[in-house]
Amino acid sequence: MGFELNKSYSGFRLTKKEEITELKSLGLFFEHDVTGAELLVLENDDDNKVFSATFRTPPENDTGIAHILEHSVLCGSKNFPVKEPFVELMKGSLQTFLNAMTFPDKTMYPVASRNQKDFYNLMNVYLDAVFYPNISEETFKQEGWHYELNNPEDEIVYKGVVLNEMKGEFSSPESCIDRQLAHSLFPSTPYGFESGGDPVSIPDLSYEEFKAFHRKHYHPSNSRLFLYGDGDTLSYLKYLQDQYLKDFERMEVDTSVPHQRSFRKAKRKTLTYPISSHESLEKKTFVLVGYKLDKAVNHEHCLGFSILSHLLLGTSASPLRKALITSELGSEVIGGGFDDNRADTIFAVGLKGTDPEKEDEVLALIDSTLHGLVSNGIEEDMIRSAVNSIDFRLREGNFGGFPKGIVYNIQALGSWLYDKNPFSHLRFEKVMRKIKKRMHKGYFEDLIIRFLIENKHRSILVAVPKPGLAKKLEAKERKILKLVKQKLSSDDIDQLIAETKKLQELQLAPDSPEALSTLPSLEIEDVPKEIEKYPLEIKHHGDTKILFHELFTNDIAYIQIGFNSHSVPTEMIS
C-alpha cells in the first residue's frame, strides 16, 4: 500500500520515506507515537526476512554489564520460561540467523527466516526476551559471575560464562591491544571502558545494578527496531503495537554518546601479556598505531576511508602492507585498518612478531610510506582497483553467512544510532560518484595528509610478553578470594555452599514439558513443498546454448562458461 508521511499506522507515525535504489528497497522510517520507539523498514522482494531490536548501551565502567545482559535476556522470559531458547528454537525453526551481539555502544538482537510463520515465531521470542526477561539472580550468577564453593575446606573460585569468556579474550595479545587502542583513543567517553567486561572488574557488578541497567536501556524509548524483506509492513506494525508496545509509556532516557576531544599530542602506552616461563621473548612484541578520524555519521568519510584502507592494506600488493611485510621487522600486519563501529572512526596498523627495540623503525616505516605516497602520488591503477573493489562489494551485497538485511541494519546504525538520517549509510551511488570524480585529483592523498600524517590524535601501543604474568594474575585473584573467605562466618560459608549447590542443580535440571511447550515451532505443513524457481530463458548463438537468468544484480553481470571436456585425456585433467 502507499504509506503517507506524518500519518500513523497502528500507533506508528511515518516520518521518512525514500526509495533506496542501491538496495532495490523502499525505506520507511516510523516513530511510535507513545513510546518514541524508532522503526526502520526496508521493503523489497527478498524472502530472507530480518528483524532486530537494537538498544544503545554505552558502558559506564568495566564490569561488562551490557555483555552480561546480552547473554542473560536469552535465558528465559515471561512467555517463554525455558533456560536456553536458542537451543530449543533451533530444533523447530527454519531460521537463517539467530544470535545476539554486543558492540562498543549498542546491543543488537537479530533474527532471520525465509518462512513467514517462523519469522513471527522468532520475533515473538526475541521481543519477549528483550522486554520481559526473567533475569533472575541465578541467571545473573550463571551468565555474569558468582563465588563457587563446594566444600568448607575448598578455596572459593570465581565462575560465570562472561567472566570466563573475557578471561580468554584478555589472554590473547591481539585482542588486548585492539581493545586497549580504543580505550586509549577515547579515554573521556564510554569507549574508554571495556564493553565486554574486564575480568578484574566484572565481580564489582551487583545484581541490583544489573537489573537497573535493563530497566533503563531495554525500554522501547531507547530501542531501534528493524524489519527487512518481503513481509507485510502493516501486519508487522499491528503486531508490534498489539503484542508489545501498547503496554509501555514513553520514558526519558539519555544514552547519547559524546565525542572525544582531540589530543594535542600523541599518546604511547606499553602493555604486557602472559607467556610461559620457558618461552623465548624474541619476536613476540606487538607495535600498533591508531588514529582517531572523523565522525561515523559522515558517510563520504566512511566510504572514502574504506577505499583508502583497502588501498593501503587490503591486498598483498597494497603499499603499506607490502612495506611492512618486506621490511622483515615483524611477521604479520595487525590493526585491521579502518573501523567505523563507534561514534568516531579509527584507522589502525602495526606489526606483530617484532621486538621492543624495533618500535621506532616500525613507526618510522609507516610514516615514511605514507609520506612517499603523498609526495610521489598514488598509482592510478592502484586507486582504480581499490575503488572498484569497494564499489563491487557494495553492489554485490555478498556478506558470507550473514543475511543481507542484518548487514544493512548494521550499516544504517552507523548514522541512525547517533540520531542522524537512518537512510544515509545505505545510499552509496551518489557518494561513490563524488569520490570517483576526485580520485585522481589528490583525493586519497589529502585523506592521508589530514587524518594520518598531520593527525596528532593518535595512540601508539606496544605489547610485550611477560613470563609468569598469568601465574601472577592467578595468585592475585586467589589472594582476593582468600580474603573474601576469611571474612565469612561458618554460617556464611554454609550458605555459600548451599547457593553453589542450588545453582548447579538449576543448571543441570531439564526444562519442564510445560515450559518447553510454550516455545513456538513449525509443523510439516508450514514448510512449502515447492522448490524456489529462478527465471530462465534459453537462447542459442550458433551451436552455443546460453542460459539467461534475469535477476536484480545491481548492475553486475555474472558470466559462467562451461566446456565439454569429454575429449580431454584423463591424465591431462588435474
Cell matching residue 379: 598509482
Cell matching residue 170: 584478555
Active site residue 31: no
Query: How far is residue 73's CA from residue 51's CA, in Å, rounded to a whole number?
Result: 17
Strands (E), 80-151: 95-98, 101-102, 106-113, 146-148
Cell matching residue 564: 565439454
- Contact partners, residue 412, CB within 8 Å, separation at least 6: 40, 226, 422, 423, 425, 426
38, 43, 88, 143: which one is catalytic? 143
70, 88, 169, 194: which one is catalytic? 70
Cell matching residue 509: 535440571
Site of grid cell 589529502:
446
Query: How far is residue 393's CA from residue 67's CA, in Å, rounded to a whole number?
Result: 31
CA distances for 65 relative to 52, 194, 312, 510, angstroms? 20, 10, 37, 27
Query: How far is residue 518's CA from residue 520's CA, in Å, rounded to a whole number?
Result: 6
Burial class (CB within 10 angstroms; exposed 0-12, middle 13-18, buried 19+) of 523: exposed
Looking at residue 572, the DSSP 8-state letter turns out to be G
Cell matching residue 377: 602520488
Residue 20 identity: I
Secondary structure of the chain: what % helix, strand, coil (to 5)? 45, 20, 35
For 463-501, the three-class secondary structure string (H helix, E strand, C coil) is EEEEECHHHHHHHHHHHHHHHHHHCCCHHHHHHHHHHHH
Query: How far is residue 536's CA from residue 470's CA, in Å, rounded to a whole number?
Result: 62
CA distances for 450 relative to 73, 250, 292, 446, angstroms? 44, 43, 11, 6
Active site residue 70: yes
Strand partners, 268: 460
Burial class (CB within 10 angstroms; exposed 0-12, middle 13-18, buried 19+) of 474: exposed
Query: How far is residue 228's CA from residue 527's CA, in Å, rounded to a whole number?
Result: 21
Cα Rg for the chain, rounded, in angstroms?
27
Tell me if residue 516 falls in helix, strand or coil. Answer: helix
Burial class (CB within 10 angstroms; exposed 0-12, middle 13-18, buried 19+) of 289: buried
The DSSP-derived string for 7-27 is -EETTEEEEEEEEEGGGTEEE
Query: How far is residue 505's CA from residue 470's CA, in Å, rounded to a whole number?
Result: 32
Give the active site residues.
70, 143
